Amino acid sequence: MKKSDKIIYLIDTLELLFPEVPIPLDHKDPYTLLIAVLLSAQSTDVGVNKITPILFAKADNPYDMVKLSIEEIRNIIRPVGLSPMKSKGIYGLSKILIKNHNGKVPENFEDLESLPAVGHKTASVVLAQAFNIPTFPVDTHIHRLMYRWGMSSGKNVKITEKDAKRIFPKKLWNKLHLQIIWYGRKFSPARGWNIKTDLITQKIGRKSFLKKLIN
């Protein structure tokens, strides 16, 4: 199968399996999404979704967030891990949003990535899911599957993102990245993976990768 045919097959199959793709992190607006994505670093969406209702009951906007101390934020978010860094980031970015952006989450990479504890992936998720701006956030599932499917070298997430943007139509980026995440979780996980249930990898998987499974 030619690579162009593989891409068409991939897009069509994901659309068939996941015509609707819920956003994994619970939120109600750009600010709460930003905080939830920040908290999800090296944590699970399930874990974050247990903590954010507690945090947002006390502060669901930057003006209320800065009324809390860093220590108070840290105590609430402790279960998701990296709480010292994340609590400082949440407090710091909230202050900057008030000072420089009238309390609003900016709608561009430059301003988002200048915020404390906000990297490229977090900014990409916020732009895609809060503002519907085409981006292709690459998480561990997308990085793993793009390699398994022979769509990227797997060297690093920057290359994976570049390859994804190059091969997939821009109008599909925001939905497609979520479809790949849901597919990875359900059919092609890092652990406990079974090729028999992973139909896409069976069909278009990297030959060298599939060969290792047989040997």
Residue type, 170: K
Specify the residue for token string 């420089």. 100
**CATH of segment(s) 30-131:** 1.10.340.30
- Residue 137's CB is within 10 A of a number of other CB atoms, namely 24
Cα angle 105, 26, 45; round to 5: 105
**Residues 6 or more apart from 169 whose CB is under 8 A from it?**
none
Of the candidates 118, 172, 183, which has an alpha carbon nearest to the alpha carbon of residue 144?
183
Q: 61: helix, coil or strand?
A: coil
Give domain limits for the chain.
3-21+137-214, 30-131
Q: Are 90 and 68 in contact (CB under 8 A)?
A: no
CA–CA separation, 87 and 95 (whole Å): 13
d(CA 112, CA 128) in angstroms, rounded, equals 13
SS3 2: coil
Point out the residues that are catalytic: 121, 139
Give the tens place of pLDDT for each residue, 71-81. Answer: 999 999 999 99
Look up the CATH architecture of domain 3-21+137-214.
Orthogonal Bundle (1.10)
Q: Is 214's pLDDT higher than 70?
A: no
Q: What's this model's pTM, rounded to 2 decimal places?
A: 0.92
Q: What is the DSSP letter of 41?
A: T
| pLDDT 10s digits, 18-49 | 999 999 999 999 999 999 999 999 999 999 99
Q: Is the pLDDT of residue 97 over 70?
A: yes
pLDDT at 215 over 60: no
CA–CA separation, 116 vs 139, rounded Å?
20
30-131 shares the fold of 3-21+137-214 = no
